[in-house]
C-alpha cells in the first residue's frame, strides 16, 4: 500500500494529494489511485467514471462546473501532460467557507491531485500548450443536473493566472451565469466529532 502525501488547503474538504513515485534510470512508477490507500483520506468514496480532456492552447479555461443534486459529482483531478491552475469554489450554504475558493497548480511532472468534494464548483486553466487532464468522478454525467458559474465573476474574486483576453473558452462557458443570482442547492454538513 503506497499512501499519498496529503496537504490540506484553505478549505477543509478540498485536499491536495501527491502519490509517491519510485524512479530509476528507466524512469519512474507511481500508484496514482488505490481505493484502499485513498480511503484513509477521502473516506469510502467510490469513483464510477474516468474523464480525460486535452487542451491545445495555453490559457484554455474550463469551468466553473458542477452537477446539482440528486446527481452531484466529487472529482479527483490530475494532469497527464503539461500543467493547470485548478480551482474549487465552496457552494455549500452554511459552510464557514461558503463562496470562498482555493486554487492549486497541478503538473504532470509533480503528479499532484486535487480532490474536489460534492458541493463545489470546479474549473481550471491550462498553463502550457498541449495539456491533458484526467479526473475521476463518483457520479455519472447527468446532463439535466449540469450547471456552472462564470469563471471571472468579481463576486467570487478568483485570482486566475491569465487575463480575460487570454482566456480560451467554450461557447457554453462564455455565457454561464454570475454568482449573485445563484441559489445553491448544496447544504453544508457539520463534520462528525472525532
Q: Is 188 a catalytic residue?
A: no
- 141 carries an active-site annotation: no
Cβ neighbours of residue 145 closer than 8 Å, sequence gap 6 or more? 67, 68, 69, 70, 71, 72
Residue ranges covered by each domain of the chain? 49-176
Quickly list DSSP for 125-152: EESSSSEEEEEEESS---GGGEEE--TT
Homologous superfamily of the 49-176 domain (CATH): Jelly Rolls (2.60.120.10)
The one catalytic residue in 122, 135, 140, 188 is 135
Per-residue pLDDT of the chain (194 residues; tens, 9 = 90+): 467 789 899 999 999 999 887 888 898 887 888 888 888 888 889 999 999 999 999 999 999 999 999 999 999 999 999 999 999 999 999 999 999 999 999 999 999 999 999 999 999 999 999 999 999 999 999 999 999 999 999 999 999 999 999 999 999 999 999 999 899 999 998 876 55
Catalytic residue (one of 33, 65, 118, 188) = 65
Check if the beta carbon of residue 138 is closer than 8 Å to that of residue 73: yes
Amino acid at each position: 500500500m503506497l499512501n499519498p502525501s496529503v496537504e490540506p488547503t484553505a478549505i477543509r474538504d478540498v485536499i491536495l494529494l501527491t502519490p509517491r513515485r519510485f524512479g530509476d534510470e528507466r524512469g519512474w512508477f507511481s500508484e496514482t489511485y488505490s481505493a484502499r490507500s485513498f480511503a484513509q483520506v477521502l473516506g469510502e468514496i467510490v469513483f464510477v467514471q474516468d474523464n480525460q480532456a486535452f487542451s491545445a492552447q495555453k490559457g484554455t479555461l474550463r469551468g466553473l462546473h458542477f452537477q446539482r443534486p440528486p446527481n452531484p459529482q466529487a472529482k479527483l483531478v490530475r494532469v497527464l501532460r503539461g500543467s493547470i491552475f485548478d480551482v474549487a469554489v465552496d457552494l455549500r450554504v452554511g459552510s464557514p467557507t461558503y463562496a470562498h475558493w482555493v486554487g492549486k497548480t497541478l503538473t504532470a511532472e509533480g503528479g499532484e491531485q486535487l480532490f474536489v468534494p460534492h458541493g463545489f464548483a470546479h474549473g481550471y486553466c491550462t498553463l502550457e500548450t498541449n495539456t491533458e487532464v484526467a479526473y475521476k468522478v463518483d457520479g455519472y454525467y447527468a446532463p439535466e443536473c449540469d450547471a456552472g458559474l462564470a469563471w471571472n465573476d468579481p463576486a467570487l474574486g478568483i485570482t486566475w493566472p491569465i487575463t480575460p483576453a487570454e482566456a480560451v473558452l467554450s461557447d457554453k462557458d462564455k455565457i454561464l451565469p454570475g454568482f449573485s443570482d445563484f441559489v445553491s442547492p448544496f447544504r453544508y454538513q457539520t463534520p462528525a466529532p472525532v
